[in-house]
Amino acid sequence: MDDLLAEFVAETREMLEAIEGEIVAWEADPDDRARLDSIFRFVHTVKGNCGFFDYPELESLSHAAESALAEVRAGRRVADFQLVNGVLAIIDRIGRMTAQIENGDALNSSGDDLLIAMLDPDSEEHDEPQEIQATESTPAKPSTPAATPRSIRLPVDLLDRVMSGVSDMVLARNDLARRLRASGSEPSIDGPFERLSGILNDVREATTRMRMQRIEYLYNPVPRLVRDLSAELGKQVMVDLEGEDAEMDREMIEMIRDPVTHIIRNAIDHGLETPAERRAAGKHEVGLLGMTARQSGNRISIAISDDGRGLDCARLGAKAVAAGLLTEAQVAEMSREDLHQLIFEPGLSTAEVVSEVSGRGVGMDVVRANLDKIGGTITVRSTPGEGTVFILAIPLTLSIVAGLTVAVGDQRFAVPRSYVEEIMHGAASSLEFSSLGDADLVTFRGRRIPCLSLARVLNLRESTDLRRETLLLIRLGTGDLFALAVDRVFDHEDLVVKPLAPAVMATGIYAGTTLLDDGSPILMLDVQTIAAQNGLVSEVRVRPSPPENANRERAVRTRPVMLFTGMDGRRRAIAMDLVRRIDVLSSDAVDIEGSRSQIVIEGSILPLIGLDDRAGTGTIPEGKLKLLRLSDGQCELAYAVSDVSDASAIENEIVPSEDDPLIEGVTMIGGYPTPVLDGLALFARHGRKMHPGAPVTCRLPANDEWSKAMLQPLVEAAGYRIAASPDEPANVTILMDDQPVPADVSATVIRLHSDSNQPEGRERGIYRYDRDALLAALKQALAGSVR
C-alpha cells in the first residue's frame, strides 16, 4: 500500500504541474474542448483515486469540481471568471492535501465548504470583475492529442548512479584506447573496440537525456501566476510563451524556478502599467509578458520581457545616492546601461509603495547570486516607455560543465569556460604589468585590471614572473574583470563534475572534482569565490563604461581560437565557439565522389572538408582520421586535420585575405602568421541542416554467426548503424549466397557469396572476404542514401 500511495502522490503532482496553465488558457478560450476535457479528466482521476485510498475530504472537493465542469461540457453553464477561480482554488487545496498525505499528516477539511460554494453560480463569495484576466497567446492544442510515449518513474539518485557509472566507463575506454595506440595496430582488437566505443557513446547520450526535462515544466505555472497577480494589481496581462521544446537538467529547472518567478512578479508590479495608464500612453490596454527559451551550444538562453514603462534611470541613480552607494558625480558620469545594473544592488528598489508583491529592495540581488552559483549570468536591457527584457544564460546541466584545463607546476585544475573571456600570454607587447602594494595589476587595452597568480592563491609558490605566465581574462557574473595567471592552458572539454567532501568545499576555492580522459582526478576552481576572497568583486556591481577609443578597440578585440594543422601541413585557426569536439574515426567511414566528401559519425551524415585545403577534392588517408566537429547551432561540419595544436587567442588585427573565400584573413598568433577560417563563409558553402533522427541503417543476414563476427565490424566502420531486428526498415540490406530478398525490402541490396571462383560483379555478388569490393559497394550505397 505504501508503494501505491507514493505512486498516487507522484502522479497527482505531475498532473498538478501541467493543469494550472491549462485552466488559465481555457478561461481565455472557453470553446477549447480539448483543454476542458483534460481538466475534467484530472479531477475525475483524483476523485477515483481518493475513493480507493479512502480520502473523503479530497473526494468531495474533486467531485464538486467534476460536477461543475460536467455542466460546462454539457453546455448548461458558461466558463466564467467565478467558475475558473473556484476550480483553481480547489486545485490549490488538492495540492496542499497531497503534500499532507506525503508527510503523513491528517487531512483537515475546514474551509472546504466555502471552496465548494465558490462553484455555485449563485454564490457571492467571489465578485472580482471579469475583465481583469490573463490570457495565453500560445496556439491551442489540437483537439485530438498526439499519443505520448510510455514512461516510468525512477528515483533521481538511481539516475545519478547510472550516469556516474557510464562516465567512469567512458574514462576507462579512453585509457584503454591510449594503451592500444601505444602497443600498435591490432586488427583483431581494433574492430571490436570501435564497436564498443560506438555503443558506449550511445549509452552515454541516452543516460544524459534521462535527466533532461522540457522547459515546458518551467512554463506551466506561469499563466496561473500572471493571472493571479494581474487580478490582484488591477492589470490586464497577456502571456506569450515560446521554446517549450528546449530541454534542461531537471535539477537545473528547479534551481531557476524561483529567480524566474521573482522576475515575472517584478515585471507585472513595476514594469507593466494599469489599463488607464497604458491608454494614456497610447498603448493597448492589455500588457504583454513574454518568455522565450533558446538553446545555444551547451547553454540555454531564457528571455523574460514586458512592454511596460521600462527602467527609470533617474530614479535608480537617485536611490543609489540616497543609499550611499554612489555620489551624484558618479551617477552623472554613468551610462544608461551602467545605471540599469543598479537594480541588482541589495536594498535598492524603485517602487514608490511597498506591497505584498514587491518593493522591499530584496530579490534581484538574490536572483543574480543564485544564478552565479550554477554558472549562469543575467543581463538587463530597457528602453523608457517601451519595456524591459532580462536575459538569463544558464548551463544545460550541473553535472557536465564546459571547462578549460590549466596547470600550475605539475598540478592541473579546471576552470569553467563560461567565465573565461580571453586568453593571452604574459609576454605579449600589448600588456603592461605594475604593482600597488601587494596587489599585481595588468594594463590591457588602456584599462588596468587586477591580476591574480593561481600559484599564490593555492600557496604552491611565493613569487611568479607574470610575463612568463598565460593569463585568463575572467569576467564574473557581476561584470568585474580580472586576470588569472597560470603556467599553461591545455585544452577545453566537457567535464563531468562531482561534489567534494564538505571540508574541502568549505575552503571556498574549489567547486567540485572531475576526471580527465586518462582517469587523473583534478579539481574545479570556484572562480567567483576566489575573486570575492581576494577583494575583486566591487561593492557597486555596475559594468564599466567603454573607453574613449571603444570603436577601435572593438575592432581588434581578442577572440578565443583553436590552432590546428591542416592536411596540407599549414597551420590555421578557427573560432573556439564553433568547435564542438575533436573526434578520431576510421577512414572507412569517409565517402568521396567528385568534389563532394562526407563522413558518417554516430549515425549522422556530415559534410567533410579539409582533406585537401588547396583544392576541393582529396584522397582518403589510410587508418585513423582526426576531425574537428564544427557546429553553428543548426548545422554540423567535419573538418579533417593533421593535428590539433592548442587553444589560443587573436590579439592582433586580422588582415583580410582575398585569395581564399573561406579564410577571413591572416593574423599573428604566437609570433607566426596564421590564417583564420571564416566560420560564416564555411557554413554558408558547406553547411547542411542535420536530421539526427534518420541514421543510415544496414540490415545483416539474420541468425548468422559469421555476419556478427566478421561483417558487422566492417559495416559499422563504414559508417552504418546495424538494424536491431530483421523487421526494422534499413537503407541497405546484405544477403548471403542464394538467400531470397525479403518482401519488405525496397532499398539497396548487396549480395555476398562464399565461392572465391565465382565471377565478380555487383549483379553476381561479392566474395565475402573481398574487403575492398565490399567497402566500395557500401560507400556507393551510402552516397546514394543522402542524394
Amino acid at 498: K
Q: Distances from the Cα of 524 to the Cαs of 373, 415, 510, 535, 677, in angstroms?
A: 14, 6, 6, 21, 32
Burial status of residue 345 (CB atoms within 10 A of its CB: 0-12, 13-18, 19 or more): buried
d(CA 668, CA 648): 11
Shortest CA distance to 685 belongs to which of 633, 635, 644, 611? 635
Do 578 and 630 touch, CB atoms closer than 8 A? yes
Q: Which residue has the cell 573526434?
A: 583
d(CA 50, CA 5): 10
d(CA 583, CA 45): 51
Give the tens place of pLDDT for each residue, 499-530.
Answer: 676 677 677 788 778 777 666 788 888 887 78
SS3 at position 477: coil
DSSP for 30-73, please give it. Answer: TT-HHHHHHHHHHHHHHHHHHHHHT-HHHHHHHHHHHHHHHHHH
Residues in the chain: 787
Q: Which residues of the chain have pLDDT under 50?
A: 1, 126-148, 353-354, 356-362, 539-557, 614-617, 690-693, 762, 787
Whole-prediction pTM: 0.47
CA neighbours closer than 13 Å in the CB half-sphere of residue 735: 16
d(CA 67, CA 89): 15
Shortest CA distance to 37 belongs to which of 14, 69, 84? 69
Q: Which residue has the cell 538574490?
A: 366
DSSP for 510-579, please give it. Answer: EEEEEE-TTS-EEEEE-HHHHHHHTT-S-SS--PPPPPTTHHHHHHT--EEEEEEEETTS-EEEEEGGGE
Residues paired with residue 405 on neighbouring β-strands, in sequence order: 414, 491
Q: Cα 281 to the chain's mean position, in Å?
A: 39
SS3 at position 308: coil
Residues paired with residue 599 on neighbouring β-strands, in sequence order: 590, 606
SS3 at position 4: helix
d(CA 731, CA 700): 11
Do 734 and 758 touch, CB atoms closer than 8 A? no
| CA distance from start to end of the chain | 58
In 707-767, which residue ranges form alpha helices assigned H by DSSP?
712-717
Q: Is 703 left (phi over 0), alpha (psi -120 to 50) or beta?
A: left
Do 450 and 433 touch, CB atoms closer than 8 A? no
Q: Cβ–Cβ contacts within 10 Å for residue 249, how many?
A: 21
Q: Distances from the Cα of 589 to the Cαs of 541, 621, 769, in angstroms?
A: 52, 11, 19
d(CA 79, CA 84): 7
d(CA 429, CA 634): 38
Q: Cβ–Cβ contacts within 10 Å for residue 356, how many?
A: 8
Q: Per the structure block, which three cell numbers stand in for 435?
A: 604593482
Predicted local distance difference test score (pLDDT) of residue 726: 78
Q: Distances from the Cα of 557 to the Cαs of 102, 404, 415, 551, 554, in angstroms?
A: 56, 20, 22, 10, 5
Q: Per the structure block, which three cell numbers stand in for 651?
A: 590579439
Residues paired with residue 566 on neighbouring β-strands, in sequence order: 641
